[in-house]
Amino acid sequence: MTVTTLRTLEEASMLYHLTGVTKRYTQGRKTIDALAGIDLQIADGEFLVIQGSTGSGKTTLLQMLGALDRPTSGSLIYEGRDVAKLGEGDLGELRSHSYGFVFQSFNLIPTLTAQENVETARVPWHVRGDERRRRAMEALAGVNLADRARHIPSELSGGEQQRVAIARALVREPKVILADEPTGNLDERTRDDIIGLLEELWRERGQTLIVVTHDTWVAGRASRRIWLEAGRLMPDETAERSAERSAAEVVLA
């Protein structure tokens, strides 16, 4: 077998295959190149961390990976389909069936209980009411929150709210979990709990976990780290140095 064939086989087993992905935002006459040509492959089952300074394009990249938006140019292949070329209907379907999102600010609906918040994720699936409740309870039990199912967000701690958000992401049984600074609003101990939980789910369910974080401890848990700078991916050695530097900053702070 030739080297070329081997490379092709390896590429075929990749969940994501990004080539020259750019994202340009236009505001009036101003243009911002949030992503300036990203080449990246992500394997099925990876725990990938995306790091980089503020404004470097991390959230933008995560949005592309979660089909929340389309690249301006380049190709973003997910399981053999080019997301850049999909219509709104297909994008919506991909979002609700394949991806689970977790955000820094939890994004729970304040007037709904934990269980109802988790249930909202199943609405587009037209699952029967009792079945939806059963699955929501199962997902809450999976994040050790069964006993808080009837609490509304303001009756839950930050860590508990994030666990509800994780249950909401999981209830769809997505293939990929995309988390943007999931521990940004939590103290250290709660951060450790939440990352521990995500890691456990990742290990048990074989999902692909993609986490944006500024936190070097969180980054250290990943199976691979990448570093963005001004919309570009840094070569591995530079990424390692940047990570070491920010770890040193944390120690000095």
Ligand X SMILES: Nc1ncnc2c1ncn2[C@@H]1O[C@H](COP(=O)(O)OP(=O)(O)OP(=O)(O)O)[C@@H](O)[C@H]1O
Could you list the residues that contact Mg ion (CB under 5 A)?
59
Q: Closer to ligand X by CB, 120 or 246: give it.
A: 246
Q: Considering CB distances under 5 to 8 angstroms, the limit depending on partner class, which of ligand X, Mg ion, none binds residue 52? A: ligand X
> Can residue 25 be called a binding residue for ligand X (CB under 6 A)?
yes
Degrees, nearest 5: CA angle 37-40-45: 150
Q: Closer to ligand X by CB, 25 or 125: give it.
A: 25
Q: Considering CB distances under 5 to 8 angstroms, the limit depending on partner class, which of Mg ion, ligand X, none binds residue 141? A: none
> 85 is written with which tokens?
């070329």
Q: Closer to ligand X by CB, 55 or 220: give it.
A: 55
3-state secondary structure of 137: helix
User: Contact at 8 Å (CB) between 89 and 109?
Assistant: no
Which of 5, 13, 54, 154 is close enough to bind ligand X by CB under 6 A? Answer: 54
Stretch that binds ligand X, among 26-34, 82-90, 157-165, 170-178 (CB under 6 A): 26-34
> Can residue 100 be called a binding residue for ligand X (CB under 6 A)?
no
User: Contact at 8 Å (CB) between 215 and 195?
Assistant: no
Minimum CB separation of residue 14 from ligand X in Å reads 23
CA-based nearest residue to 60, from 35, 26, 92:
35
Report how far residue 18's alpha carbon sits from residue 50's, in angstroms, rounded to the nearest whole number.
15
Q: Closer to ligand X by CB, 34 or 170: give it.
A: 34
Task: Give the burial class of 36: count Cβ atoms within 10 A of its Cβ; 0-12 exposed, 13-18 middle, 19 or more buried.
Answer: middle
Q: Considering CB distances under 5 to 8 angstroms, the limit depending on partner class, which of Mg ion, ligand X, none binds residue 57? A: ligand X
Minimum CB separation of residue 134 from Mg ion in Å reads 35
Q: Which residue of this chain has its Cβ atom nearest to Mg ion in the complex?
A: 59
CA-based nearest residue to 226, from 56, 83, 13, 6:
56
Report how far residue 240's alpha carbon sits from residue 237's, in angstroms, rounded to the nearest whole number.
5
Residue at token pair 């940047």: 242
Question: Which residues inside 56-75 make contact with ligand X, applying CB under 6 A?
Answer: 56-60
User: Contact at 8 Å (CB) between 50 and 228?
Assistant: yes
If you count them, how many residues does the chain have? Answer: 253
Report CA torsion sign: 188, 194, 197, 201.
negative
Minimum CB separation of residue 52 from Mg ion in Å reads 9
Q: Considering CB distances under 5 to 8 angstroms, the limit depending on partner class, which of Mg ion, ligand X, none binds residue 25? A: ligand X
Stretch that binds ligand X, among 36-44, 47-55, 135-143, 165-173 (CB under 6 A): 47-55
Binding site for ligand X (CB under 6 A): 25, 27, 32, 34, 52, 54-60
